[in-house]
């Protein structure tokens, strides 16, 4: 392989990692906003599928859960974020949350147009 091809590959790899890091930061910020927003609108696809404490959930279940917990009034404290990209437009995120509902979450996030939306989610009580 020529020296110029090696340099080109190194530059592309560097730029790709910066982009993934930037997008990871954006997805983490989006998750924190969702946690504080009081509902899934704008963060979760309407055709989302998921698993919650009571079993299989969908968008309307997430809306109802957010409404039921709207008066909690506590800060959404999250940690242990990890983001893995499966492709340019699909990422998997995991994290833990503390507070009155301590849990671990897994989200599959897909870029739809210019927006990233959660298309699958699961949560389990933290031990």
pLDDT in tens, 84-111: 999 999 999 999 998 878 899 999 999 9
pLDDT, tens digit, 9 for 90 and up, residues 15-68: 444 466 789 999 999 998 888 877 888 999 999 999 988 899 999 999 888 887
Domains of the chain: 3-125 (3.10.450.50)
Q: Position of tokens 């739809």?
A: 112
What letter does residue 84 receive in the DSSP assignment?
E
Percent helix, strand and coil across the chain, each rounded to 5?
35, 40, 25
* pTM of the shown model: 0.80
Contact (CB, 8 A) for 19 and 11: no
Contact (CB, 8 A) for 57 and 51: yes
């Amino acid at each position: 392989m020529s020296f110029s091809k090696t340099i080109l590959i190194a530059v592309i790899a560097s730029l790709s990692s910066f982009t993934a890091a930037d997008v990871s930061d954006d997805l983490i910020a989006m998750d924190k906003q969702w946690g504080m927003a009081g509902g899934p609108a704008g963060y979760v696809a309407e055709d989302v599928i998921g698993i919650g404490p009571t079993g299989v959930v969908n968008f309307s279940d997430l809306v109802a859960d957010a409404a039921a917990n709207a008066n909690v009034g506590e800060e959404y404290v999250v940690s242990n974020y990890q983001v893995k990209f499966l492709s340019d437009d699909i990422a998997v995120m995991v994290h833990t949350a503390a507070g009155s509902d301590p849990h671990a979450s897994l989200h599959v996030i897909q870029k739809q147009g210019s927006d990233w939306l959660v298309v699958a989610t699961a949560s389990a009580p933290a031990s």
